[in-house]
Structures are given as structure tokens and as C-alpha cells.
Amino acid sequence: MLADTIKKIVKQVFSEEYQHDELLDKKTLAKEVLHCDPGSVDELFATQHGFPYMLKGSRIVYSRKAVEKWIADNQRYF
């Protein structure tokens, strides 16, 4: 049935988009994604407009996928 095929495709696309994301603390974000010192994260990145973060309780965490997308969307070229 067409409806079943569409449902299967939508489920597959949705699951691929949202699975395998990691929530990173500042130290891990700096080391694995931004390749900088943890002290530079706020100064160079986190204060930039639209930089993605979430609160997990009272802690700030960063979605790896959201940060990687933000980097890709905010590239500047000469």
C-alpha cells in the first residue's frame, strides 16, 4: 500500500536525522569538535549569535549535530 510505503520512508528519514547525536560538555566540545582550549569556547564560539546549547538540569550541554550544523551554516569565505 502507498500509505505504508510513505510511512516507512518517513520513519527511516526521521530516525537517520535524529539518532546518534551526543550531548557534549564544554571540555569535550572544545577537544573533539572545535579543536580549541575549553577556555576559548565561550570567547570564540558560545557567545556568537545562534550558537546551539541546551540545559540539562543546571548544566549547559551541546548537541554535537547542532554544533556541527551551526559551523557549516556559519562558514565565511574570502
Q: pLDDT tens digits, residue range 30-51?
A: 999 999 999 999 999 999 999 9
The pLDDT-based confidence of 29 (bands split at 50, 70, 90) is very high
Q: Mean pLDDT throughout 55-60? A: 94
Radius of gyration for the chain, computed over Cα atoms and rounded to the nearest angstrom: 16
Task: Compute the distance between CA of residue 58 and CA of residue 71 in angstroms, rounded to an integer.
Answer: 25
CA dihedral in degrees (34, 35, 41, 47; nearest 10)? -40
Q: Are 67 and 30 in contact (CB under 8 A)?
A: no
Listed by start position, the domains of the chain span 22-78
The whole-angstrom separation of Cα 68 and Cα 78 is: 21
**Mean predicted lDDT score pLDDT of the chain:** 88
Global pTM value: 0.71
Considering only the top CATH level, what class is 22-78? mainly alpha
